[in-house]
Structure 1
Amino acid sequence: MNKHDQIENPSAEGHEADSLLAAFALGALDLDEQAELEALLATSPAHQKELRQLREVAALLPYATLAAEPPAHVKTQLFARVEADRATRLQAPAPSAAAPRVGRHMRRWMLPGFAVVLAVIVFALGNLTLMLSSTVRRLDEANRELTTAIAELQQSLTETQARQETLSGQLAASQDQWLAISDQWLASEDRIGQLNARLAYDQQIVTFVSAPGVATRELVPARPDASARGEMYMYPGEPNAVVLFSGLPTLETGEVYQFWLADGSSEVAAGTFQVDHTGIARLVVQAPREVNAFQRVMVTIEPDGGSATPGTTVVLAGSL
């Protein structure tokens, strides 16, 4: 190609250079063609930029294809084009020393080769699209599986919370039952304590009244028609005494029986008591001095808590 042809058809020269750039990016040039193209690149920033883009595409080609065997007719056509390109290159005349290698003879073999390169790139991009579609499907399946797993975990969490609430309710009920049992146990302990105290009190009375040398005094009702009786047990010279009562009527609420020791000038309160439903009661007397120093005893009905002086309602009386 002479300078006149290059001026008249500059687009053809640029198209041939583009074809060489594609082959250069794929490593398909011999040493002479590579040297001539590098000389062209040194003076053309546009071709340098295009070469960088082609090399980026070529670098992605190994990752764009899946492991697949191409159809037989594709391989046949590709090999046929390669053979035709080789034959064209062998039959082409040697270039003149003055003319650049990027000339008209390159159009005869580079254009078919460039078409092959484009076909390979299109094929690779198609495989890349298929691979991306397969990846998207796998990601979609993984997303659905993850969604299902999250739903199952949420259901399991809900069931666990329900079981925790049930256990909490059972624990609260158990605590209530335990508290009720504890209250019953405490009440039983109190009852047992009361019974033990009463038993000790009764044993003290039995021991006192059955001891040798004890003296007894009888308390009789103040009214002849009453059936109440009292029996007082004492030791001369001792301040203690025991009195057993029977036949006394149950008092109204807010009233108690009160026992008195009296001498010639005063009356001394010696304790209060209530009777059970059978009219029986027991009283241990703690006198301020020996019991036999007093002259008489009596039982009166007083307000709850007792009185400082005896009232007018005398129930029982006796002489010491």
Structure 2
Amino acid sequence: MHDSDREHEQSLLAAAALGSLDPTDLAAFEQVLASSPAARSEFEQLREVVALLPYAAPPVTPPDHVRTRLMERIAADQAAQAPPRQTRSSRRISTGWVTPLILVGLTLVITLLGSLTLSLQQQVIALNETNQQLLAAVNNLQAAVNASEERQSQMTAQLATYEQQLARLNDQVAQERLLVSFVSAPGVATRELLPTRADVTARGEMYMYPGETQAVVVFSGLPALEPDRVYRFWLSDGTQRIAAGSFQVDATGLATLMVTAPREVNAYTEVMLTVEPATGTAPGDVEVILTGTL
């Protein structure tokens, strides 16, 4: 690099550090910084030196007239920057327009709020009425369900009663058919059971087949007993007695007993009907009212 180029470069750096670089030299200055790291370092050093220059001069007290002119200039600048003051007449005119507008706005808001409040109240009333109607409908439905359940319970109980009656009728029909077939069959033998006392009006008739273990006994004229007493039918062979069934009678005094003996019925020599407690016996509690021989 020639000395003239070096001097030109230093002058560019110095002018840039002092802030007095001519705009026409700006491109040349930027080219110097871009192409030379040493120039960039020198430029930074020059900037630091320039920043210290104000502290190198001795302090000087300015004259009074300079201070006065400076304060006047500051006051003038502040007055120029302050917003224009609003006159009393303009404020009065503005207030005169704003107040009616505010009142009108408030009136509209109050009217709107009143309308909304009335609408909400009407909706609440309508909802309450609908709620009451729904509650009434639910109560009616619940009452109908309860009534239906009660009727169903009654019908179930009645059906159970009918089923029990039907079962008893079926048993009765079966017994009557068996009795008819048993009594009307050829070869059947008949034995009569007679009262043991003169005041007893009951009678009994026994139908059996020689060599068979089954027999049918038909009773009539038997008085109804207390709930804790029963009629009991016995088979005896002279050495022991065997209970062959127990029963009660209703007001008709009729009863039919199907007997199944441990061995052939004709192997026994005597039959009898007693009145005794339904559960357990004690001496004197058993009364023989009918007897018969086989």
The TM-score by the shorter chain falls in which range?
0.5 to 0.7
Per-residue deviation, 1:227 = 2.7
Paired with 1:119 and 1:312, the residues of 2 have a C-alpha distance of 131
**CA offsets, 1:159-206, max 9 Å, x none?**
322332233233223322221221111111111112112211222222
Per-residue deviation, 1:122 = 4.0
Kindly indicate whether residue 292 of structure 2 is the aligned counterpart of residue 318 of structure 1: yes
After the TM superposition, which of the residue ranges 193-202 and 235-244 deviates more from structure 2? 193-202
Kindly indicate whether residue 80 of structure 2 is the aligned counterpart of residue 40 of structure 1: yes
Q: Is the 8 A contact 1:267 1:310 kept in 2?
A: no
- SS of residue matched to 2:291: strand
**CA offsets, 1:14-54, max 9 Å, x none?**
xxxxxxxxxxxxxxxxxxxxxxxxx933xx3xx39x8xxx9
Taking structure 2 as the reference length, what is the TM-score of the superposition?
0.65
Rg larger in structure:
2
Paired with 1:207 and 1:307, the residues of 2 have a C-alpha distance of 36
- SS of residue matched to 2:197: coil
Paired with 1:197 and 1:308, the residues of 2 have a C-alpha distance of 33
Per-residue deviation, 1:211 = 1.6
Q: Is the 8 A contact 2:237 2:270 kept in 1?
A: yes
- SS of residue matched to 1:238: coil
- SS of residue matched to 2:224: coil
| Corresponding letter in the other structure for 2:80 | L
Instruction: Report sequence identity in percent.
Output: 41
Instruction: Please list every run of 5 or more consecutive structure 1 residues that lacks an aligned counterpart in the other structure.
Output: 1-38, 55-110
Per-residue deviation, 1:132 = 3.3
Taking structure 1 as the reference length, what is the TM-score of the superposition?
0.60
Q: Is the 8 A contact 2:276 2:286 kept in 1?
A: no
The aligned counterpart of 1:268 is 242
The aligned counterpart of 1:88 is none
CA 1:190–1:225 in 2, change beyond 3 Å: closer, same or farther? closer
Per-residue deviation, 1:269 = 0.6
- SS of residue matched to 2:249: coil
The aligned counterpart of 1:223 is 197
Paired with 2:280 and 2:246, the residues of 1 have a C-alpha distance of 7
Correspondence list, 1:161-310, <5 A: 161-305=135-279
Q: Is the 8 A contact 2:195 2:202 kept in 1?
A: yes
CA 1:311–1:229 in 2, change beyond 3 Å: closer, same or farther? same
- SS of residue matched to 1:158: helix
Q: Is the 8 A contact 1:260 1:268 kept in 2?
A: yes
Cα RMSD of the aligned pairs, angstroms, is: 3.0
Instruction: Please list every run of 5 or more consecutive structure 2 residues that lacks an aligned counterpart in the other structure.
Output: 1-78
Per-residue deviation, 1:116 = 7.3
CA 1:297–1:309 in 2, change beyond 3 Å: closer, same or farther? farther
